[in-house]
Amino acid sequence: MVTHFLVVLFLGYLSLSHADMHDKQVFKGKEIYISKVKKNWFDALDYCIKKDYSLLTIKSSEENENALAAIKKIMEKKDEDHIWIGGFQFQPDKPKTYRWVQNLRKIVDVFTDWAPGEPNHGRQINEFCMEIFTKKSANIDMKWNDHVCSKEQYFICEKRIK
């Protein structure tokens, strides 16, 4: 009886723990989880960390292609142009000082796929957080952008596989 109760409790926990996320997408070196809920960038980061994930980081063209494939597959039918990933501008007075939150490496030192003219710091309206345009918006298809961190958007967590 107690065992039965514990099993029900555990299954309940499992389904609850994944209720906010789409099924994982598995690629070489990592699992990618796209959220079903919208959060601001900071809450999205906390959400991923609480699950022992990170907000998505992209360190090569291959990882970029994999992330875009996952976004395309899951976001295709959603009416949404933006999805958070794990880059942040660390020096507010110095645009383009973006780093990946997972290891704090400078993004310019790794691999970049910014949309034309980005990161533009929102033309002085304080864009410090990184996202990917998920659809053709302003003729920009699936490229990186900096955006206002307080916007509530879908987001991507990742878990690196060793």
Cβ distance to Ca ion smaller for residue 21 or 87: 87
Among residues 25, 54, 66, 145, the one that binds Ca ion under rule CB under 5 A: 145
Cβ distance to Ca ion smaller for residue 146 or 158: 146
Pairing outcome for strands 154-160 and 82-89:
parallel
The answer to whether 158 contacts Ca ion (rule: CB under 5 A) is: no
CA distance 142 to 158: 18
State the first-to-last Cα distance of the chain, in angstroms, to the nearest integer: 39
From 10-18, 25-33, 70-78, 125-133, span contacting Ca ion (CB under 5 A): 125-133
Which three-class secondary structure state does DSSP give residue 6?
helix
From 20-28, 75-83, 110-118, 150-158, span contacting Ca ion (CB under 5 A): 110-118
The answer to whether 146 contacts Ca ion (rule: CB under 5 A) is: yes
Cβ distance to Ca ion smaller for residue 97 or 120: 120
- ∠ Cα 135 157 160 (to 5°): 120
The answer to whether 131 contacts Ca ion (rule: CB under 5 A) is: no
Helices (H) then strands (E): counts for the chain = 3, 8
Largest CA distance in the chain: 63
Residues at the interface with Ca ion (CB under 5 A): 118, 120, 127, 145-146
